[in-house]
Structure 1
């Protein structure tokens, strides 16, 4: 059984889609609609005869084209990984066979490239976040990028760039006016940098850099602050040597050097 196309009209809401009408006796009736790509590919025109097999192929190909256009639109907002595209199409209930075809076509046409996606993702993270390369690599793999591609992409996150970002983050943390010992503050900053995903070599170099430039006045203020707190805590129960030992033990546990501790205790004795 064959049918004949009686006329073809452009859809009002989408100029790239066409309504196909079929002869029905002396009049015609709506048959189906197709994308412009399908219209051209199959050479659809008025008077063309279509058998059932061709009709099924047209409908299948149009369904594919709709899904492909949907994928292109999803990609228009930003680059995507292959896994993100697959997950999106699954969510939209596209048939598995069509998803395979769509992904293959997108790769061939250059719309999908996991290495390009990974490189761009790393560069964006470098420019817009304080995350280190280990976290960025983990994020890439969560987006379905292979470990090999992710590892190659994070090579863009050079040692020099890591050091600069980690140092900036550490200095900002240390400017918060903490009353803890400088050594303890450094330990906390080191822990923060580990959580941020920076490599160990960078962290060690950053901490050494900061330690070599530390502000001794700030450290002395912290010793005095913590020492006075300890004195107020223990002076009701202890006095003399015992009070001195309690303060010394407390300050040492908080990470202060013995030079600063002894200086504080000497000045305390003078005041008493």
Structure 2
């Protein structure tokens, strides 16, 4: 039973109740979200402290201090590419030469590392979303990663692993298409894989294998899919 203590008017109250309420308020107001993940918004006391420091720098009259504050705040929230940070500084009207100096310094000390970003992005998005190399490369290019770095990152994904991921995606979706015409099922399943960056040839082969394993007749299904493109 929780300890009790007098409240000064003859009644007794539970000790620590206020503390528990304050703790709950703290969780609601400043607690870190669950499941922040590599590219999520997870945070800790150190991150909040860095943000407070970067926030004061963002309002500095010194452009270089402002640039540092902007970069630190964004990097605390989630990993960023150099191009993303450069764009953020441009929008804040940081002079180009100042932005370049800050970005170069942060690259030198490892706060900006597009190679590490790209490698982590490929691993996270493939295992989390089932994306194939083509889709992953497109996402990295969209974030300003240089082509050579993109190529190196997506090549770390083993082709056999990519095929197995495609099979798992189809197996997960298969039941929701049961009862439909084979051509309709093929179109839906191949389309799902195509949206995740798998080639049409690989996607159709995986879908055909899955449907035939169910005893589904797939003769002519490929033509039906190709006709819908």
Task: Quickly name the TM-score band, shorter chain normalised.
Answer: 0.5 to 0.7
Structure 2: gaps (5+ residues): 1-51, 224-229
TM-score by length of 1: 0.53
2:90 paired with 1:97: no
Distance 2:159 2:70 in 1: 40
Whether the aligned pair in 1 keeps the contact of 2:190 and 2:200 (CA below 8 Å) is no
CA contact (8 A) 1:162 1:202 kept: no
Q: What is the rounded CA distance, in whole Å, between the counterparts of 2:185 and 2:63 in structure 1?
A: 61
Can you list the C-alpha shifts for 1:31-60, whole angstroms capped at 9, x where unaligned? Answer: xxx98xxxxxxxxxxxxxxxxxxxxxxx98
Displacement after TM superposition at 1:183 (Å): 4.8
**Count of residue correspondences:** 169
The separation in 2 between residues aligned to 1:202 and 1:70, in whole angstroms, is 44
Measured after TM superposition, the shift of residue 205 of structure 1 is 4.2
Deviation track 1:8-30 (CA, whole Å, cap 9, x = no partner) reads xxxxxxx979xxxxxxxxxxxxx
Q: Which has the larger radius of gyration?
A: 1
Contact 2:63 2:94 (8 Å CA) reproduced: no
Indicate whether 1:68 and 2:68 are aligned: yes
* Structure 1 partner of 2:39: none
- Partner of 1:50 in structure 2? none
Q: What's the TM-score once normalised by structure 2's chain length?
A: 0.62
Question: Runs (4+) of structure 1 moved beyond 2 Å?
Answer: 177-184, 199-205
Q: Which structure dedicates a bigger proportion of its chain to strand?
A: 1
Q: CA RMSD in A?
A: 3.4
Preserved CA contact (<8 Å) 1:122 1:154? yes
- Alignment check: 8 A CA contact 2:81 2:113 kept: yes
Distance in 2 (CA, whole Å) between partners of 1:185 and 1:199 is 17
**C-alpha offsets along residues 134-180 of structure 1, whole Å, 9 cap, x if unaligned?**
11110110111122211111122221221222112112222014432
